[in-house]
Structure 1
Amino acid sequence: MTIFARFPIHKKLQFMTLLSLLALFLISVFTLFYHKGTLLEDRKIKTQNVVEVAVSVINNYVQWEKEGIMSPEEAQRKALDAVKALRYDGKNYFWINDTHPKMVMHPFKPQLDGKDLSKVTDPAGTPLFMDMVDVIKQDGKGFVYYLWPKPGLDQDKPVQKLSFVQGIPEWGWIIGSGIYIDDVNAVFFKQLIQIGVVIVVLFSFFITIGHFITRDIKTSISRISQNMVILSEGCDIHVQDQDRRDEIGLMARALVDLSKKLKQSKETEAYQKQQEARMREERATEMHKLASDFEAKVQDIIQNVAQSAMHLSGTSEQMSSAMTQSSDKMNASVTNVGDMANNVNSIASAAEEMSMSVKEITYQMQRSNDLVENAVKKIEMADSHAQALSAASSRVEEVVGLISDIAQQVNLLALNATIEAARAGEAGKGFAVVAGEVKNLASQTEASVQEIDQVISEMNVASQDILKSLEDIKTSSEEILSSSHAVASAVSEQDTTTDEIVRNIQMAAQGSQLVSSSINDVSSDMNDTKQSAFDVSQAAQDLSKMSERLRSEVADFVSGLRA
């Protein structure tokens, strides 16, 4: 903001008027002083011209003397008389002195005629006549400044005078005439007064015109400013000066246009408010409908999730119970296999004593056959349980797939809920938090499902290993049974086949140990599967709880949308 922005317009206009008047005054003063110099220069030229006229008069007499028309004395006398009678501008005159200097002729001071002027000075001490001689000797003519009494005034108070002198070399004269500076000053001051009067008149005229113009502009702008204030308050205005052709008229017409546009803007704003109110009502109705549809869909999905969670929990409990039963049966199988191992050891002992008693061998072989048949039955039962375990593992895989699908649906539901909460703004912040927790739980559930799936895959591999081991044990047991029958039918060949029987019995003992170890591994895997089933059951229960909480948050969110 410039310094001029601090002042009102009428002050600026007054300042411009005063500045213009000051410029006019300064220009007038400069012109006057320039005119004064010009006036003095004109007077100097005029004085030089009249002196040259007087010189031409004297030169006529000089020429007549040379031609012999007049004698020197007569020519000089008549020349002096002619010059003595010359006047210009009223009282201005000519005088003549020689180069001595000595006064030859002075029309107003005849007492100086013939007087030596070499010692004459003005009050300022200027040897004026000696200066005249010097000018003539140097240039033949020129101007000289000095003080000299003015005719008609006090002779004791000389004034400044400027004289032009020119030499008459034939007679040794110096003719001169001058102007008084106070005459020039008088003319200057007279003109100064005249111009001053004109300036005062112009000043008065400009000030008056400036005053009326300033008042007109100030009044018009004040009216426009007041109308703008009234218009800013929202009231109607009556604008004047519209018919003016200057900028104020343009501003007045622009203000009228602004008033019309503001009025139209108010009407448009009122119409927009009505439209916004109608749109808010329509949006509220639409949001209410969307909330109802959203609530119904979410409730249906939550119900499905809850049912799936309950089904998953029941399936997990069934799987855990089945794992418990399988574990008990596997423990029984371990005991039977241990018994079988002990019996095989007994058979080995009996084989060593086979050479002592064939009857004892026959009895022991019959008992061995019974035990082997019983072991085969147990192994077949263990094979059946292992197949059931494999089927349960497949069922667990299906349940895990169902849990994964449910977790993905919950994750998608949480994502949709987060989007709806973001669209709802402040009203959906709580719902967004719950949706985020549900999404995290779904992600955790999906991670747990992946871990369970990995455990089940490992359990399936172990089950296949168990089935293969049981097949091997079954094959070994059948071989033992065949060997036992061979021993029973070939007692006579006991001595030759005893070593082979002992070797086969040792292999059967090793197979029994392998079966026992495999069954222990299967039992450990079953325990892990049981723990995973328990974790799945817990996750299903947590999912059911979060579904209920999600149901409550959805209800609150929908209520907030409907409010």
Structure 2
Amino acid sequence: MFENVRIRTKLILTFLAVAGLSAISIWLTLVSVISSDGRKDIADFEKREMSRIKTDLQDYVNIAWQIADQNLRAAQNKEHLQKVYGPKLASVIDMVDSIVQQAIKDAASGRMTTDEAKNFVKEEIRKLRYDNGTGYIFIIDDQLPVPRAILHPLQPNLEGKILDAPEYNCALGLNKNLFVAMVEVCRSAGAGFVDYLWPKPGKEGAQPKLSYCRLVKEWGWILSTGIYVDDAIADAVAQTKEDIRKIRYGNGAGYLWINDTGKPLPKMVMHPLQPELEGKVLDDQKFNTTLGGKENFFKAMVDVCNEAGEGFVDYTFDKQDADGTNRQQDKLSFVRLFKPLNWVIGTGVYLDEVQKTLAEKNEAQRQQQRVLLVKLSLVFVVIGVLALALFWIISNRIALPLQKCAAFCGKLGLGDLGERLEVKLSAGASGKKSGDEVAAIALALNSLRDSLKEKVDMAEKIADGDLQNELHVASDKDMLSISLNRMIANLRELLAEIRETADVVSSSSHEMTAITTELAAGAEETSVQANAVAGATEEINVNASSVSTTFGQVASNVAGVAQATENMNKGIAQINSKAEEGARVTDTAYQKAQKANTTIQNLVTAAAEIDKVTKTIGEITEQTKLLALNATIEAARAGEAGKGFAVVANEVKELALQSAGAADNISSSIREVQKSIGEAVTAMTEVALIIKEVNDSSTAISGSIQEQGNITSQIAGQIADSNASILDINRAMEELSLGIREVSSNIQGVSQVAQDSGKGVQQLSQAAGDLSRLATRLQTLVHKFRL
């Protein structure tokens, strides 16, 4: 494939292959590195993004957790409770105190006695309730060491009793009688708060409670009311739900929810977007979408919180697109256990935005990679073009000397030894001139040229007849020099033998000349005698040819007559055949004419039948017209009732008229057809008679032609017999003429041979003279060589 490709092209192709493979390897390596870096960047970005998302989710959940913790702690803190519920409790006592003050005024004014006023106040306060009936007011006196109960709407059995039972020693933080604590607070400040434990309806055991009490100095009463701390906790729980319900982030799309830790599946405590789920067990199949396990993700959240207190759960959940369609999207949630209330507080984020951001970043990075790869490709192309140009110059520096060597070899091949290759050598480290491989080739080619020049010079000397010199043999592998030296030695021996042979040929040629002179004279005499005999035989041959020609003409004429007779016989046979065929055709035509005549007769009969039918139709038409006329008359008599029948009768009349017209047309057509058929019958009858006459004539002609054919066959037989006799005589005369011509030819051959012998002797004599001259010339040429 590459045998005919120039070395420059081979070098360039080699360079392009190596450079192309290198460029492709580098390009693929760069692509791999860039792709790997891109994937690493995407992975790092995804890791950072997921870390950010997880941190945000943790922050939001921790904020909600702190809110729940703060609200719950506050619900159990005395100062907080006083701050939150104190104004409400004080307002209740303000209302009761106004009733007491009014009663005091009424007693002072004499409207009622003090006891009546106190009783009135106690009955009024006994009926007061607030907070949906759970809140009430009780009254104790301000006596120490232990006060007495004045009024307690829920435990009236305490009224009038000293409150010194041990179970009352439950004032929180003071470890003393709660009523004594109230007295002390009121005596010292006129009003204040006391927290303690007290039974709550509907619950077992004493419950934490905070009371606000105020001293009524005029009567020595202490008015008091309180709130159970668990009510505060319930308020705190409700407040916490509302606080967390309102939390939004991520442009309002992010929210938090709360579920409990119930088993086997939790309940929803609060969900800001789907409040209908609150209080329900989360057992819907749509929640069984955790990634990997396909279990209920709320249960998974509870399990994570029970195991580690907090954690992440990934799952899929419906997300509403912009067009309102719900689609399953990956979602990541962070949950944290709020142990005091057995709550799981959580929030989550759909990962489609992250995935979309990753896809956009990935696409942007791919675009950057494509741009970078295009730039790198352009750089490779520019570098490749520059390298190719440089290698083109280098390949020229390599190829041009080789081309010169190839051209020089071509000249050597053509025998042009007039030039030498110019070889550029440089001085080496040793002081000797040296060059590259191309210079070595050039030096070798110059040495070859010198060797060939030496051998050409030797060949020119040999051509000039100088066989005295020999070539210098460079080595035992210098086969050309050895062969030329052997050729010179062989030429010397050959020329010596040629000299001796030339001398022998010269003497022999003189003797041959004398012999050919004598042969020429004998050949001349033989030729004269043969010519005389040839003349005599020629006369005999002429006479025989004349007789043979005459019989040949007779035989030819007889043969012509026989041929004419044969042709006539064949013509008669053909005429007879045609006549018989004509008879058959006319017979067939006659039969068909008879058949056509029969068919036409049938047609005449059918036309007559049609005419009868037509006449019948005409008669029916006439009757129909009469019926239609009668119907019209009857319809006219019927008046209005017969109008419809009159219309029908008129239509029947019109149809009858049309039928009559059609029947007349058919009758006319049938008559024309019958007339044409009659003419056709007459014509076919005449045609049948004519065909019968033609058939009879054809039969008679066929018989006559048959008789003529028999006569012609007899004549042809007689002519054939005559022609055979004439042909026998003619063959005998031709054989005689042939013998005479053969004798004449032989005699002429003898004469010709004699003449040819004379010419041969002359040619031999001439050749002997030429041989003598050539021998003399050969001696002259041989003596030119210097042996």
Give the TM-score band, short-chain normalised.
0.3 to 0.5
Q: Identify which of structures 1 and 2 has the higher relative contact order when contacts are C-alpha pairs closer than 8 Å and 6+ apart.
A: 1
Question: What is the TM-score of this pair, normalised by structure 2?
Answer: 0.31
- Return the structure number with greater strand share: 2
More helix by share: 1
The structure whose Rg is larger is 2
